[in-house]
Structures are given as structure tokens and as C-alpha cells.
Amino acid sequence: MSEVKLEEVFKNEAIEDFGDALRKAIRIKEIQDYASLIELEYVESKEEFAETIKKFLRRYHTHAKKLHLKVPKEESLDSIMRLVDKYGVKLIRASLISHALVKSEENESKKEIKGGKKDGK
């Protein structure tokens, strides 16, 4: 494995896309999907990682439509699996969890965190 540039990994669009979804999944009152966070924390292999992402997306989809949440893009899924192949599970897992746990962008309203909807829509 070549020298890892952490900034490139953490700023990767796929990491940001999935990290944002995971953040919403744990912070929005109607979802509070701590199970995905815990499962992700303990994955060690590529296969476990893929299974955990699948479970997360299944849980997230059950709420995304009714709460009008953005679902990670197919390209992000492909990209995140390429990142796992390139950098390994531990680094990608850490970057996803870090994105999920940091303070969200300033323009993310309190209403979105509480109910998943922006601007009362």
C-alpha cells in the first residue's frame, strides 16, 4: 500500500455522502440507528464491511422516503468499496464514523435533525 494521504480519504465524496447519511441516521429522532454505528465499529474484513453497509442502507431506506432524506448515490457505494480495496477496512471505517460524529454543516437546520425535513417540507 502506498503512502496514504488522509485528507484525500476524508474529503472523498463517497465518504462524505455515506458519513452524512450515517450522521442523520444516528441523530434524527425518528431513526436513531445506533446499531449501524456499532456494527460498523467492529467490522474487520471487506466482506463484513459490505454486509454492514447493506444493512445500514436497508435501515436508512425505510425512513428516507417519509422523512425526505438524501440517500447515498450508487456511485458513492461503488467508490467506497474501491476505497476499501485500496486503503483497507480500518481507515475507511474510521473516516465514515468520524464524518458521522462531527458537527454537521452550519446550514443543516435543527428541524432536519429533529424530523428529517428541511424548510418545513
Please report the pLDDT score of residue 20 as a whole number.
96
The answer to whether 30 and 115 are in contact (CB under 8 A) is yes
Instruction: Give me the pLDDT at residue 2, please.
Output: 59
pLDDT for 104 equals 72
pTM: 0.83
CA dihedral 62, 67, 70, 72 (to 10 degrees): -20
Domain limits, the chain: 6-101
For the chain, residues with pLDDT lower than 70 are 1-2, 105-121
Q: Give me the pLDDT at residue 119, please.
A: 45
pLDDT of residue 115: 53
pLDDT of 73-87, one tens digit each? 999 999 999 999 999
